[in-house]
Structure 1
């Protein structure tokens, strides 16, 4: 029996429901059979140009039918999919190309000027010559002979860049086996059917976009592709969800907050489930979501180094007004909360989160030293196993669920006290009249001080004195911010996550 790899998940539904709608974009619908033929032809073209197993192909395309076809074609060709977000500045793109060394870049003619000429070669999908060459090729499924090598569960499926602590991006290689496990777990947990429609709106540089692209096509559902830039426009998203009958959508909590503030949001009544990940989901936002939409909400957690997500939590379970857990492990995943000596901590104690299991990435491209530093031998699993050091702080609850406490690199020292900024932010989010809040450290007159940036809830009138008084009831005095800046919304980065550099500049 052949190994289970990502193209096989899609092929199953091509055979079972060839005329079912696979993807919808701006009024154009492709069936499973049509999308399959187009992706197979493009895959053959990529193989002829040098794509194949253990080689990567960069994809620099806006959300479109081109993008969906390209992702499938790269995987069918046996190569690893390397997304390059169109929003990346040219200098970052050049650095990523230099590090990952893809065999080619798939893009459109209008974007060609963003890339260095010649290396790697550009394939312009909207070029008439390219289109003619691709359309002349057979549309049947590729074999390992066509690909020039075997497609295996251990083979490289994706190369995703993630931010580095030094400011330089680093490329993470994930395997087919890890991603198949992730996709099949998600289908088991949520059970998409042919009646479901999944919204694809996440920028391709963010690993969540992978399951938005692959999960519906692996489950016989329909993918609804948002227009480029549409992920930033809540009114557009409501209209798209309503008109295309979207049932499933993902939001980073920062964007979910903005979406819920859209006056027309209750028109998104076709939603059956919403998934959150990417940053901490606050109790306040969870409560707001329930009052506005009232459909199941799920909180997922995971780093790029572990095939997108590793834990999940149904937000209707065991409601705690003070926290939203990140939950329990998905299939074939083990989670450890360890102290500095790599020993398990007691329930309720904080420690660093370590991950092991099938979803772990193979490592970082060209960064053997960093791979060895972050992927350690696993003393708690089978011989030869590895565990990934996340740099995240967590603790076990008595019921066996995990709580996320923030980043270790967000741990600061004020007057000798160790402080987790995430703990202060959680308490701030529970204050009356606060819709969102973030905390940073600034230096004034040589002294380090905690300062807060606050978004008020609706017409609430907040005062620094009232916030200090309320936080003093929840936190020791050394954890209460000394100053408060009130803003309309918190700054976010390209992926919709809290922009901590922008936050420091806003407060400073």
Structure 2
């Protein structure tokens, strides 16, 4: 397998990472004045708390799961260090709602949670703060194998079926080292991220990469156009980490002359939004294709003339029958691989040239209506081709009998007319593929990761 950083490189780095840096220890980790030294001080306090959960005499926690119910980036970085040092496994919920935390506890069995503010936790959960009143222990100088389980990430699931994915120390820090090297991230960089650190993309770019590279990261998570622009300008940010929904609302807006690069993930970024941002801000948007379970797989920068995705150097891939098979040091150990060690992704792709490919929707986006195979991505693409439609989600729902399936769609567009859209689609699709109902809304519900909230959408359409 083509590895950019081999196991020895990553493991040596992890050993060094556990030692508080003597150089630049007072350099800001977050823009609100939390220094790298502060992160290690908090890590020592969390390490002391984690070792109290240990079930043996070594001080290693033997995979005791600890919920990471904190959003403050310095605390999240400290928790990662403490988990590496103690052997704890950090559990990341997909949200901090009472229901989500209860589901996460039921699935993982955590009995303690790192918190940065008072928030409701499942009954009996021990709260772990890393405030000044907490006693700390020096982080040990130990060897951390790259395959050490570090995270269990609870995803909401694009189909409404939540899953937990394990990620190893090598998965997370190997990818961070690679991205840091590839994009030359350094202590001179200031990062503004519009993505929460409990989403894998936000965690990697707004916590782990700053920890690896020495970059400073804005402490908050701006969401609205004016807020994002203000953050970039006030902090003189050099890197913007965002999602397609935010680039869409930033259309036509210059967010600051300090940027040298922008990143997008958690969904497909339309070409017009990518190129508009690049034109307005004179920087390219690097689209990162991947998922929680696979890590980063490929990138594209349309402003540099890249129409298709090119695999990352650590990724080996092959395409068979329009399906993408991958090998990578970033893959979750939970994924099943074939006899050759390749994981079959859920996307349909087409080879474009020697070392690039284009994406053509999910392989599981095919459903049956009345025995006829329907490609939901095709229906969605036809809706998006209409000038009045800005966004849309097409989903299959059980019909009134519960035995069949009907197609329904939610669209955003001020001038979109459901009747007119149905007429257009009727001339392009076979009857079984026509959406039974098209609902026009002002906002498409999104998950915290910036993806369509299918559970909410399905509940909304089911009541139509």
Tell me the TM-score range normalised by the shorter chain. Answer: 0.7 to 0.9
Q: Does 1:361 align with 2:349?
A: no
How far 1:103 sits from its partner (Å)? 6.0
> Is 2:38 the partner of 1:14?
no
**Whole-angstrom distance in 2 between the partners of 1:291 and 1:469:** 36
Paired with 1:390 and 1:154, the residues of 2 have a C-alpha distance of 22
In 2, Cα distance between equivalents of 1:38 and 1:468: 57
Aligned with 1:260: secondary structure?
coil
Distance 1:502 1:234 in 2: 24
The equivalent residue for 2:246 is: 255
The alpha-carbon distance between structure 1 residues 463 and 293, as it changes in their structure 2 partners (threshold 3 A), is: farther
Corresponding residue SS for 1:30: coil
TM-score, normalised to structure 2, is 0.83
| Aligned equivalent of 2:395, options 437, 440, 443 | 440
| Local SS of the residue matching 1:302 | strand
1:93: how far off?
1.5
| 1:375 corresponding residue in structure 2 | 336
Per the alignment, do residues 461 and 103 of structure 1 end up closer, same or farther by CA in structure 2, a change over 3 Å counting?
closer
Residue correspondences, number? 446
Aligned counterparts of 2:16 and 2:311: Cα–Cα separation in 1: 23
Q: Secondary structure at the match of 1:36?
A: helix
Task: Choose from 293, 307, 313 the match for 2:300.
Answer: 313
The alpha carbon displacement at 1:196 in A equals 0.9
1:106 aligns with 2:107: no
**Which of the residues 58, 82, 86 maps onto 1:73?**
82
2:343 aligned with 1:388, yes or no? yes
Distance in structure 2 (CA, Å) of the matches to 1:388 and 1:470: 39
Selected match of 1:279 from 267, 273, 281: 267
Contact 2:114 2:129 in 1 (8 A): yes
Deviation at 1:500, TM superposition (A): 2.4
The residue matched to 1:299 in structure 2 has which SS?
Answer: strand
Q: Deviations over 1:225-267 (max 9, x none)?
A: 21xxx44433222212211122222222123323437xxx424
Question: Cα–Cα, structure 1 residues 445 and 121, in superposed 2: closer, same or farther, change >3 Å?
Answer: closer
Please list, as runs of the form range in 1=range in 2, the aligned pairs for 1:20-419 lying within 5 A after superposition. 20-24=27-31, 28-50=32-54, 52=61, 54-63=63-72, 65-84=74-93, 87-102=95-110, 104-108=112-116, 110-111=118-119, 113-117=120-124, 120-126=125-131, 131-134=132-135, 137=136, 140-144=138-142, 150-163=143-156, 169-211=162-204, 212-226=206-220, 230-260=221-251, 265-306=253-294, 308-318=295-305, 325=308, 327-337=309-319, 344-345=320-321, 350-351=322-323, 353-363=324-334, 374-379=335-340, 386-414=341-369, 416-419=371-374
Contact 2:197 2:207 in 1 (8 A): no
* 1:7 Cα deviation from its structure 2 partner: 4.2
Contact 2:63 2:89 in 1 (8 A): yes
SS in 1 for 2:296: coil
For the Cα contact (< 8 Å) 2:251–2:277, is it kept in 1? yes
2:375 to 404, 411, 420: 420
Instruction: Assess, with a 3 A threshold, how the Cα gap between structure 1 residues 415 and 45 changes in structure 2: closer, same or farther.
Output: closer
CA drift at 1:4: 1.9
Residues 452/292 of structure 1: CA separation in 2 closer, same or farther (3 Å cut): farther
Is contact 2:194-2:243 (8 Å) kept? Answer: no
Could you tell me whether the CA contact under 8 Å between 1:161 and 1:205 is conserved in 2? no
The question of whether the paired residues in 2 share the 8 Å contact of 1:90 and 1:115 is answered with: yes
Asked whether the equivalents of residues 158 and 451 of structure 2 are also in contact (C-alpha less than 8 Å), the reply is no
**1:443/1:177 CA distance change after superposition, 3 Å:** closer
| 1:6 to 1:251, Cα distance in 2 relative to 1, 3 A | farther
Contact (CA 8 Å) 2:46, 2:130: kept in 1 or not?
Answer: no
Q: Contact (CA 8 Å) 1:356, 1:378: kept in 2 or not?
A: no
Q: Matches of 1:19 and 1:123 in 2, distance apart?
A: 25
SS of the aligned residue for 1:246 comes to coil
**Offset at residue 481 of structure 1 (A):** 4.8
Contact 2:45 2:130 in 1 (8 A): no
SS in 1 for 2:96: coil
Per the normalisation by structure 1, the TM-score is 0.76
What stretches of structure 1 of length at least 5 have no aligned partner? 145-149, 338-343, 364-373, 380-385
Residues 13-62 of structure 1: per-residue CA shift (max 9 Å, x gap)? 934433322222xxx31332343333234323422442535333221123
Once the two structures are overlaid, the 10-residue window that deviates more, 15-24 or 238-247, is 15-24
Contact residue 446 and residue 453 of structure 2 kept, 8 A: yes
Q: Structure 1 residues 42, 449: closer, same or farther in 2, change over 3 A?
A: closer
Gaps of 5+ in 2: 1-7, 55-59
